[in-house]
Amino acid sequence: MSKSEKRQRVAVVGAGAVGGYFGGMLARAGVPVVMIGRPSFVEAVRRDGLRIDSMAFQETVHPEVSVELAAAAGAEVVLLCVKTTDTTRVAKRLGALLPADSLVLSLQNGVNNAEEIRAASGIAALPAVVYVAASVPTPGTVKHLGRGDIVVAAGDPRSAKIAGIFETAKIPCRFSENMEGELWTKLIWNCALNAISALGRVTYGEILASAEAKKVVEAAVYEALAVAHAKGIRPAGLEDPQAAIAGSFRIAEQMSGTRSSTAQDLAREKRTEIDSLNGYVARVGAEMGVATPVNHTLYTLVKLYESGFAGKD
């Protein structure tokens, strides 16, 4: 990577677990980073720095932080890490701050964030698939529990630029010729595990330890895969249902001590991304004439749980 590339400024919009981890890793590598987050995050980092409690190291970094989205103006790269419930709202504001040719990378769950960002802002955002287990035990601390790699589209010079920046921070970044399939693979695994972890208040490892829970995982995977195939999508690496189920169990094993982001949101009485996960599969299944009773049930139960703390988020 050239010296000019190393100096490129990165804005992390949404400094939660995912944004906090990747932004922190970039800051640790000397990449100029501004991290935009909630007041509690900003106050803690300004006072004590950002603590990265990783499986491989424990270190404190001192990135620039702000509560103002306007701090992203002038950044060469924007990593959008907000919840999918906030995508359109934040993208509209970014559209007023950034030129249309800005490099915005979506590090979010779900499969259609890039389209939502373009529709709201006019910016042709790049989608990415993120595999990382991280949490925020206290403001200003990110605990890294597993993985930490990213998939971006092959053949796009913007992807090469992103990969170069991540390489500086030793963040594995893989290129794919089938990004739509990669996004659906992540979606299927999220649909298989997230809601079960949340509703059962269990880790992924505890799901694996339950024969009955594994049956629910399998049913959710079968349905989501059927919806993908009905749309003409071939999820990457999931040649058949058994491969998809095995992949879900492998993810659960790799992150066995982790509770899903959906579980973490419910524990904090915050809105989840379930509309973009099981809810999305259920809606598209209805449109395609594919039955999705398990995904619809998981979606409905999480929404009912959320309704108990409406307005608190």
Q: What is the DSSP letter of 123?
A: -
Per-residue pLDDT tens digits for 207-261? 999 999 999 999 999 999 999 999 999 998 887 888 889 989 998 998 888 899 9
Q: Are strands 77-80 and 33-36 parallel, antiparallel or unpaired?
A: unpaired
Report residue 1's pLDDT band, with 50, 70 and 90 as the boundaries: very low
CATH of 180-307, one of 2.102.10.10, 3.40.630.10, 1.10.1040.10, 3.30.70.270: 1.10.1040.10
Among left, alpha and beta (phi > 0; psi -120 to 50; other), residue 306 is alpha
Q: What is the pLDDT of residue 145?
A: 84
Domain boundaries, given as residue ranges, for the chain: 3-177, 180-307
Q: Helix (H, G, I), strand (E, B), or coil: what is residue 10?
A: strand
Name residue 202's amino acid. Answer: V
Token reading at 180: 């739509």
Q: Cβ neighbours of residue 186 under 8 Å, at least 6 residues apart? A: 109, 129, 130, 131
Give the C-alpha separation, 257 to 110, whole Å: 23
Mean pLDDT of the chain: 92
Q: pLDDT at position 313, please?
A: 53
For residue 4, what pLDDT is reported? 39
**Would the CA dihedral through 171, 177, 179, 181 be positive or negative?**
negative
User: Residue holding tokens 């529709």?
Assistant: 119
Q: Name the pLDDT band for 121 (thresholds 50, 70, 90).
A: very high
Mean pLDDT of 45-70: 95
Q: Which fold has domain 3-177?
A: Rossmann fold (3.40.50)
pTM to 2 decimal places? 0.90
Q: Which residue has the tokens 């003409």?
A: 232
3-class secondary-structure state, position 66: strand
3, pLDDT greater than 70 = no
